[in-house]
Amino acid sequence: MKKHLIKVVLSCTVLVGGFTVSSCSKSSSGKNTSRATGWKINAKEGGFQYNTDFKEQETAPGLVFVEGGTFTKGKVQDDVMHDWNNTPTAQHVQSFYMDETEVTNVMYLEYLDYLKSVYPPENPKYTNIYVGALPDTLVWRNRLGFNETMTNNYLRHPAYAEYPVVGVNWIQATQFAEWRTDRVNEVMLEREGYLSEDAKYQAATGEVQGTFSTEAYLNRPESVYNGQIDSLQGKMKKDSTSTFAKRSSGIIMPEYRLPTETEWEYAAQAQVGQREYNNYRGRKKYPWEGDYTRNGQRVGRGDQLANFKQGKGDYGGIAGWSDDGADITAQVMSYKPNDLGLYDMAGNVAEWTADVYRPIVDDEVSDFNYYRGNIYMKTAIGEDGKVNILRDSIVYDTLPNGKVVAVNLPGEIKMVPVDEEETYLRTNFSSSDNRGYRDGDSGSSRFYNRFNDGEEEDPNKKMYNSPKHSVERDSLGNLVKGFDVSNNRTTLINDEVRVYKGGSWRDRAYWLDPAQRRYLPQYMATDYIGFRCAMSRVGSKSKTKNKTVRGKKAK
């Protein structure tokens, strides 16, 4: 017979000012009783309300969970380029989520179709929202190559639907991630009854003016859908205390974003499946086990494990058995995933990461979630004391190559850089823009002050004397492009160049090593760089089902 432990709880409570207070020395220590005050949480009589039923963050659409840990970031293998721009350092990464595959053409087309529906490009006010998001299909052209088939078909033809999108610059990739965040959170709010089932479709088809912004919903929910959210609320509206979801509701997903360089490299190495000492110390050359690019297992022996350039004039091998199955990009999931379940972390397309490029990674700055690129912002507060929502004023930015992109979309929150109110007497940061913090590679531009465009030498200026192209508009609104023809530039590095990782269909096997890193200006696109999204994990490092507490399985 099983013995049952019966917990005796003295029912001695009194109602004081709308709060239920325990009046006995012994009381229940359940999840709805405060361990700080002994008061009841979520009591019917009122008082402090908090979500005590939250279990853990669920995996959002398209993502795979990556449990964080320590690893050796950097190159310990070949360095045929002799740039040595990723020296080995010990790093720790927090748990996060990453897209199972690269973002595909059909996924990006969904984004374009949404923009076209909500912000019709035939309206002059919205034209550049859609046009600015379009991938550059001309990246396929080659002066001495016949690639017009890809130029005309690669993005939109259904034959390439599940191929990774290319021709997307870093700025467009980050804007896709922002859009995706809002669309997923619309689904989450609909599922939990905070939005009606057809709310997202009414906005997409133009039946409702305006659209949904996650941050606007959290800060000024009454402003969402251009102030028409009252007619689009779901069943939760019946409960006056739960009209709108809050961050504490636990159903709002963190933002989709580009992975940091450290996260990308950690995920590509996938050391979770390897317990050998050399792998832990960074000796693993590829996302798979072994030092070769062909499968050595009995099943599929000899098959290529990634899509890459095998030699001069050889983009896939001899047709037939030895071929890798692709000459340009390949359909996602064409090759085996790594031990984390992530596909094409080597080959197919290289991928944008969030980081600003520097030739030296300063391991003395941070060995925890290393990232260069922080620009700290805060919400702008209007004269009424409320968060500023941008309605009709759309801010556009003209990139150095003349492409016009929307910095914000209508209905989003206006953001401004942090100022002295946030930085005063702080020790962890002192300014909004930290992209150039502790630059340490003087050798990359040793004669900077000698060629400073006639200005006096200023030792406090950044050392990266990169080209300064300019784009202006004349009195008629036409773009006037100013190409920097100076011979005094000593580097291409500045705060607008971003790291991209992984080999591509155009690259030799050398670039398949996850530790390799290259850079490109954030406004440029190619036919071999794509991207995938990531999402931070909130709460515990590992999944609940794998958690243990002092050797005991968690409840």
pLDDT at 458 over 80: no
Least confident of 2-6, 64-68, 402-406: 2-6
CATH annotation of 63-374+499-536: 3.90.1580.10
Compute the radius of gyration of the chain from its Cα atoms. 27
- Report pLDDT digits (tens) over 212-237: 999 999 999 988 998 888 888 887 77
Whether residue 13 is predicted with pLDDT greater than 80 in this model: the reply is no
Give residue 287's pLDDT band: very low, low, confident or very high (50, 70, 90): confident
How far apart CA 77 and CA 513 sit, in angstroms, is 8
| Residues 256-260, mean pLDDT to the nearest whole number | 98
Segment 51-65 shows an average pLDDT of 91
What pLDDT, in 10s, does the model give residues 189-218? 999 999 988 888 888 887 888 889 999 999
Dist. CA 225–CA 237, nearest whole Å:
16
Q: Which of 88-97, 434-443, 524-533 has the lowest mean pLDDT?
A: 434-443
Q: Which of 26, 54, 30, 25 is nearest to 41 (CA)?
A: 30
Q: Are 357 and 522 in contact (CB under 8 A)?
A: no
Phi, psi of 341 (to 5 degrees): 90, 20
Q: What is the pLDDT of residue 187?
A: 94
Bridge partners, residue 185, by sequence: none
pLDDT over 90 at 278, yes or no: no
Q: In this prediction, what percent of the chain has a pLDDT beyond 90?
A: 42
Which residue would you say has higher pLDDT here, 379 or 294? 379
Query: What average pLDDT score do residues 141-146 get?
Result: 93
Residue pointed to by tokens 């209905």: 411
What is the C-alpha separation between 196 and 392, in angstroms, rounded? 25
pLDDT of residue 463: 62
> Could you tell me whether strands 534-536 and 96-99 are parallel, antiparallel, or unpaired per DSSP bridges?
antiparallel
Mean pLDDT of 43-72: 88
pLDDT for position 552: 55
Question: What stretch of H or E contains 536?
Answer: strand 534-536
Report whether pLDDT(6) > 90: no
Phi, psi of 174 (to 5 degrees): -70, -35
pLDDT digits (tens, 9 = 90+) for 331-357: 999 988 999 999 999 989 999 999 999
The pTM score is 0.87
Q: What is the mean pLDDT of residues 348-368?
A: 87
Q: In the structure, what pLDDT confidence band is assigned to residue 252 with cuts at 50, 70 and 90?
A: very high
For residues 529 and 500, is the Cβ–Cβ distance under 8 A? Answer: yes
Judge whether residue 320 has pLDDT over 70: yes
Question: For residue 302, what pLDDT band results from cuts at 50, 70 and 90?
Answer: low
Q: Per residue in 391-409, pLDDT tens?
A: 777 888 888 888 889 988 8
pLDDT, mean of residues 54-67? 93
For the CA atoms of 34, 38, 39, 44, the dihedral, rounded to the nearest 10 degrees, stands at 70
pLDDT of 467 over the 80 cut: yes
Average pLDDT, the chain: 83
Average pLDDT over residues 505-533: 93
Q: Which residue has the higher pLDDT, 123 or 552?
A: 123
Q: What's the confidence (pLDDT) of residue 349?
A: 96
Return the pLDDT at 74: 86
Of 302-316, 393-407, 420-434, which has the strongest mean pLDDT? 420-434
Is the model's pLDDT at 448 over the cut of 70? Answer: no
Do 175 and 133 contact (CB within 8 A), yes or no?
A: yes
477 pLDDT higher than 60: yes
Confidence of residue 530 (pLDDT cuts 50, 70, 90): very high
Which range has the worst mean pLDDT, 72-76, 168-172, 356-360?
72-76
For residue 379, CA distances in Å to 164, 418, 422 come to 35, 9, 12
What does the pLDDT look like over 479-495, one tens digit per residue? Answer: 788 888 888 787 888 89
* Greater pLDDT, 23 or 539: 539
Three-state DSSP state, 467: coil
Helix (H, G, I), strand (E, B) or coil at 294: strand
Answer for the pair 232, 217: CB distance below 8 angstroms, yes or no: no
Angle at 60 between CA 102 and CA 258, to 5 degrees: 45
Residue count (the chain): 555
Confidence band for 277, pLDDT divided at 50, 70 and 90: very low
- 5 confidence band (pLDDT: 50, 70, 90): very low
Please report which confidence band the pLDDT of residue 25 belongs to, taking 50, 70 and 90 as the band edges.
very low
pLDDT band at 457 (very low <50, low <70, confident <90, very high): very low
pLDDT of residue 544: 65
CA–CA gap between residue 23 and residue 39 (Å, rounded): 10
Q: What is the pLDDT of residue 176?
A: 97
